[in-house]
Structure 1
Amino acid sequence: MNSVSLLSLGGTIFMSQDAAGLGAAPDGTAGASLAPSVIDSVAVTHREITNVGSPSVRPEHLRDVLRNAREAIEQGATGVVVSHGTDTLEESAFLLNLYWDRDAPLVLTGAMRPSNAPGADGPANIRDAVRTAVAPSARGLGVLAVFDASVHLADQVTKTSSRSIDAFSSEPSGPVALVGEHDVRLLYRPLERPAARDGQLPAKLPNVPILMGGVGEDLTLLDGLPAGTLDGLVVAGVGMGHVAADAVPRLAALVEAGTPVVVATRIPSGGTSDRHYDYPGSEKDLISRGVVMAGALSPQKARLLLQVLITTGAIAKRIREAFAGYAY
């Protein structure tokens, strides 16, 4: 019999709501119904890592997930499922994928409705995640997110609705597979994954905020910051990765001082460019000043990659090379 280790971090899937259908909060008893011992002839064991809303998931929690997931595979588990709140699920999937060095699937899932809500989606999502974790077609795909019977790659998945049970999509290729009863049906064959990073996921990540570009936003918040305040910076720019002309000297000053700067785009689809526009604040102007473009990565995923790179002591050239792997 196949076996799956279910590791839980909390989120709506492990919450209950009040009689009026409001006030959802963590419920320590929800796991009993969501982690049965057998699903579709797959033996499932459950271990709680924590039970918090996903905005409170921290790198040390994900470090524990990686350690427990690796141990489970070494002890014979076919795959691993992680239950997680949906708010930051895409970020945790991306960060875990940088370090997941096993062929077995590591599958994240969650729910949009609390465990005691009418039509709760948690049980079906857990079932589909378990099916994916043991599916032969899912092996070698790295960390996956399973929601509403769709399977998403960690690098591409993003939450696109704050309310719908069909809350996730993938940019630019759509879900990689659909969940079947005995396997997952691949919709396309993804590119080969980059090699996983050596070592353990850091328990603490560097200070890298995200600032949003827009009309009248010159990033004046950067003026007068004491030296060493920022370890790095990500800007959620507009269009293909653009900022206001008056923001450029501020970003250039950070780069000159040795603080890496990455510009992503706040637009959900299309990513950043490195060649389409050439005016003050455009991608070509920013690149000429040492700013790195995020490519297909969202601002939140670009932040995580930059944080990981900083922890390894990566210099500017290495940072550019790492982000080039996500370029359009």
Structure 2
Amino acid sequence: MIFRLPSYTIQTNGKLYIVSKLSRDVQVFDLFTGEEIAEIPIDMLSSEAINTKDKNSIVLTNYESKDGNIVKIINTRTNKIEKTIELKGTIKSNGIVAFPEINKVGVLDYVNNNLLVLNIENDSIEKQIQTKQKTSHLLALHPSKSIAYVTNMKSNSVSVIDLTKNEVVKIIPCGLTTESIDITPDGSEIWVTNKNENSISIINTSTYKVIDILPTGNEPLKLKFSVDGKYCLVANARDGSISVYEQNSKKQIKTITIRGKNKLLERILYHTPRPVNILMHPNGLFAFVSNSNAHEIEVIEMKTLTIVSTIGTGKVPDALVFIE
């Protein structure tokens, strides 16, 4: 059989934590040396992970029908599982964000459709806020206000939650199967993907109105703004491509096609690509894209908007976390 080994050819600072769903582990990759420095078994199917504000911990949710109420915490100094938290009840967790307090995270329960405020220091749920919609999936926080925005897949909507009042203040209708979400660095707009409509809804955070709808490739999953907010990258899973949009003009300026989609030899050498997640390097120079079918990370240089390197992973990489 002919195959291609992933090739890492750049040098930049920091460590990349790569969560591979089917391998049920987290690979710690040194972005300067190009070497794996740790492999952490997590023994669960996780597709969402975040780092706490102090960068000392990575918190992972468990997206499974069984044990979906398990949250695990990795100590980034020892690269070992530090704690396992079992949330009581019929909770099934997925989306997660870090709150400004280093001991608190927001977790979405997609069965009961609650936003949970979880204290990871004493393992307690401090708040449960109803989203008032169905299959609440992912969320983002406003950079300067106590507001959370939650995508709801079955309700095709975004819930706006005031974290001071602990209640939904607005429901915003979007497109079919509202999936992923990100917010501009200045907090002026949220962009959400509508997975089964192949579109992005753009929402003004002052008026809570959809101000534009942009077409995407097939099955847009995650999207992410560049560090400076100039661009938004969208992972089109079924197309094996990344769409690049300018935030100001709302125009698509490029499609980055991952090798393996077009020709038989490419499919043999590179595997049919399926991009599912995007993480921006804080230095603004690179974006990392989880290519789940090929078991690798594609590295995009943001200056040229081209793929310049790859990182080999476990089976079905998804969530990505950066630690300095």
- Tell me if both proteins adopt one fold, taking TM over 0.5 as the criterion: no
* TM-score calculated relative to the size of structure 1: 0.28
Structure with the larger helix share: 1
Bigger proportion of residues as strand = 2
